[in-house]
Amino acid sequence: MFVALPPMTSVTSAMPASMSHSMSCIDRYLRYLGYDVCYVRNFTDVDDKIIARANDLGEDPLSLSRRYCKEFRHDMVYLNCLPPSVEPRVSDHMPQIIYMIKQILDNGCAYRIDGDVYFSVDKFPDYGCLSGRKLDDNRAGERVAVDSRKQNPADFALWKSAKEGEPFWESPWGPGRPGWHIECSAMSAAYLGYSFDIHGGGMDLVFPHHENEIAQSCAACGQSNVSYWMHNGFVTVDSEKMSKSLGNFFTIRQVIDLYHPLALRLFLLGTHYRSPINYSVALLESASDRVFYIYQTLRDCEEMLCQHDGAIQDSLPPETLSCIIKFRSDFQTSMSDDLHTPVVLAALSEPLKTINDLLHTRKGKKQALRIESVSSLEREIRNVLTVLGLMPTSYSEALQQLREKALKRADLTEDQVLQKIVERTSARMNKEYEKSDGIRKELAAVGIALMDGPDGTTWRPSVPLSLQEHQVSS
């Protein structure tokens, strides 16, 4: 992925969904600040794992890659990630890759062996500058391919000679395909030049991938430079590393089958991008509950403002103005401090509470310039949600979708919930309080909260009772 901003700010990285989500967030924030962003997300559509998987399935590797790239894009749309400016694929950039390898060879930093081309790490004194590793630490077999022909065990492939059953391209060194690392350097140089601002990726890419990118890019062009590196933390499940072998692996599609995509997005934003993200049902339920609260509050704002026919004044009460100034300051300070999204989410609490007080409390309803306060607070929150990628197309539509997901998790239909409400209302009228409490607890146990009001009883999604108790005990 790459991003460019004036004065020529740029970003690159190959990344999983969690990092793509983070880069989408910084893309939005930089645009909010007024930068002209060129956001590039590159696809590796040729590598050892893809070829092995394609062979297992009896499918063409490039066809398999195209299919998964398409599915990935769908997932990013679900998560409300902005589309990148450019999405280069390795298979479409062989001329650029071959040209960069030629530059590295011409500069004496690579060597040829039987149709393969290897980068010589001994020719780059700053090797290890990103990861802090020393060459002595790079033992063959530990994320470094074993090959007795290499001059140094840490040397890595720039070009691999063709093997039977693998896709290949013609090159000055014979038919073959690029090594993993060279593709990112070549594509970033093609779209951003050799010097750009931000390069992103997973924490596991610091070494050897990004370390090797630095070495080969600098070997090709001495002015090569990346101003900032962003690396996201790993995803864990109930504090254990997510892994297919452990059977605790979830896809985005599986998660959003039960939870609203924007609840998943808020869940991801709730952890700083460099920290491990602990995936758990309890945290997802909490994120879903929070999203519902936010959208319900803003939907209530809409209804109130739609009913107001008079003019809205420019002035605001001092307390409202103070709330807005602090919220705006917290937002910009936190986002500018290495994208501290958890702090921004926490900062939403005060303006949301102020809105609910103005809408629903006796004191709030009497406050001077109440309409102006609600309108201004709603606008500030909406602006922040837009930057965070949490703005739905419609509050009402999002609330309905959140209800539908909650019903699915509870294995109930809305008619069944409404029937329970009728039964509970009848029990209360007959002073069967134990029965009515039992119905409330039964629904609360599966994440359906009942709310009694002047106009009767309604329901909303909530964190299931057992998970609430678990959170309290934790």
User: pLDDT at position 61, please?
Assistant: 94
My answer on whether 87 and 133 are in the same domain is: yes
Rounded to whole angstroms, how far apart are CA atoms 196 and 5?
Answer: 9
What is the SS3 assignment for 88?
Answer: coil
* Percent of all residues in the chain with a pLDDT value above 90, rounded to a whole number: 81
CB atoms closer than 10 angstroms to residue 358 = 23
Phi–psi pair at 178, nearest 5 degrees: -75, 155
My answer on whether 380 and 317 are in the same domain is: yes
Domain-embedded: residue 406:
no
Higher pLDDT, 141 or 289: 289
Q: Which residues contact 240 (CB under 8 A, 6 or more apart)?
A: 246, 248
pLDDT digits (tens, 9 = 90+) for 70-107: 999 999 999 999 999 999 999 999 999 999 999 999 99
Point out which residues pair with 161 in neighbouring strands: 176
User: pLDDT at position 253, please?
Assistant: 94
> Average of pLDDT values for 441-454?
96
My answer on whether 314 and 463 are in the same domain is: no
My answer on whether 381 and 420 are in the same domain is: no
Query: Predicted confidence band at 24 (pLDDT cuts at 50, 70, 90)?
Result: confident
Whole-number mean pLDDT of the chain?
91
pLDDT digits (tens, 9 = 90+) for 397-437: 999 999 999 999 999 999 999 999 999 999 999 999 999 99
Residue 7 contacts residue 38 (beta carbons within 8 Å): no
Residue 9 contacts residue 197 (beta carbons within 8 Å): yes
Domain-embedded: residue 345:
yes
pLDDT digits (tens, 9 = 90+) for 39-51: 989 999 999 989 9
Rounded to whole angstroms, how far apart are CA atoms 402 and 409?
Answer: 11
Query: Predicted confidence band at 12 (pLDDT cuts at 50, 70, 90)?
Result: very low
Rounded to whole angstroms, how far apart are CA atoms 85 and 70?
Answer: 16
My answer on whether 44 and 140 are in the same domain is: yes
Rounded to whole angstroms, how far apart are CA atoms 355 and 197?
Answer: 39
Residue 125, judged by CB atoms within 10 A of its CB (0-12, 13-18, 19+), counts as exposed
Report, in this order, helix, strand and coil percent for the chain, each rounded to 5. Answer: 55, 15, 35
User: pLDDT at position 16, please?
Assistant: 55
Of 395, 423, 450, the residue that ends a domain is 395
The pairing of beta strand 235-237 with beta strand 240-241: antiparallel
Domain-embedded: residue 173:
yes
Domain-embedded: residue 298:
yes
My answer on whether 33 and 178 are in the same domain is: yes
User: pLDDT at position 471, please?
Assistant: 64
The 8-class DSSP code of residue 160 comes to: E
Provide the CATH number for the domain around residue 50. Answer: 3.40.50.620
Domain-embedded: residue 240:
no
Tracing tokens 């990103």 back to the chain, one arrives at 130
Query: Predicted confidence band at 473 (pLDDT cuts at 50, 70, 90)?
Result: low
pLDDT exceeds 60 at position 21: yes
Residue whose C-alpha is closest to residue 212's, from 288, 294, 115, 143: 143
pLDDT exceeds 80 at position 1: no
User: pLDDT at position 427, please?
Assistant: 97
Q: Which residues contact 208 (CB under 8 A, 6 or more apart)?
A: 138, 143, 144, 156, 181
My answer on whether 290 and 386 are in the same domain is: yes
> Average of pLDDT values for 429-452?
97
Number of domains in the chain: 3
> Average of pLDDT values for 115-127?
96
**Residue-by-residue DSSP string for 91-142:** GG-HHHHHHHHHHHHHTTSEEEETTEEEE-GGG-TTTTTTT---GGG--TTS
User: pLDDT at position 311, please?
Assistant: 73
Q: Which domain covers residue 460, as residue numbers?
A: 411-472
Backbone conformation region of residue 170, classed left if phi is above 0, alpha if psi is from -120 to 50, else beta: beta
Query: Predicted confidence band at 14 (pLDDT cuts at 50, 70, 90)?
Result: very low
Domain-embedded: residue 268:
no
User: pLDDT at position 239, please?
Assistant: 72
My answer on whether 372 and 316 are in the same domain is: yes
Of 395, 425, 453, the residue that ends a domain is 395
pLDDT digits (tens, 9 = 90+) for 303-349: 999 988 777 888 999 999 999 999 999 999 999 999 999 999 999 99
